[in-house]
């Protein structure tokens, strides 16, 4: 009983080494020693997550979100810019539901 600090199902949290903005927090490369809610997706019901050493992605009913190092256009936003918080991939809007995700360096 009581408040045990549990995170509601579908809420995305991240922790660890934060270089490249891959944790999804505004503070770019700050490391997080404990799980921290990714504020940009606080109201999304995230059901898939992928992550690599340079970038991350999450899928909710709203679509696919990516963030981190955009080198080689790996985030899918049409640029090579870094994204420090999750950003909706517009090219994936109005597509069939996503059933899997994977991150790669190229």
| pLDDT tens sequence for the chain (106 residues) | 344 455 677 899 999 998 889 999 987 667 899 999 999 999 999 999 999 999 999 999 899 999 999 999 999 999 999 999 999 999 998 888 888 888 887 7
**CA-CA distance, 22 to 25, in Å (whole number)?**
8
- Domain presence at residue 49: yes
Measured between alpha carbons, how far is residue 68 from residues 7, 21, 63, 79 in Å? 23, 5, 17, 12
Structural domain span for residue 85: 13-92
- Domain presence at residue 39: yes
- Domain presence at residue 99: no
- Number of domains the chain contains: 1
- Domain presence at residue 61: yes
């Amino acid at each position: 009983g009581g408040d045990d600090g549990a995170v509601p199902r579908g809420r995305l949290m991240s922790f660890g080494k934060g270089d490249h903005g891959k944790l999804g927090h505004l503070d770019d490369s700050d490391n997080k020693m404990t799980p921290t809610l990714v504020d940009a997706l606080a109201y999304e019901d995230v059901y898939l997550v992928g992550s690599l050493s340079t970038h991350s992605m999450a899928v909710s009913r709203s679509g696919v979100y990516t963030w981190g190092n955009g080198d080689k256009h790996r985030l899918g936003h049409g640029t090579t810019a870094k994204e420090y918080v999750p950003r909706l991939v517009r090219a994936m809007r109005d597509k069939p539901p996503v059933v899997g995700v994977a991150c790669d360096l190229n």
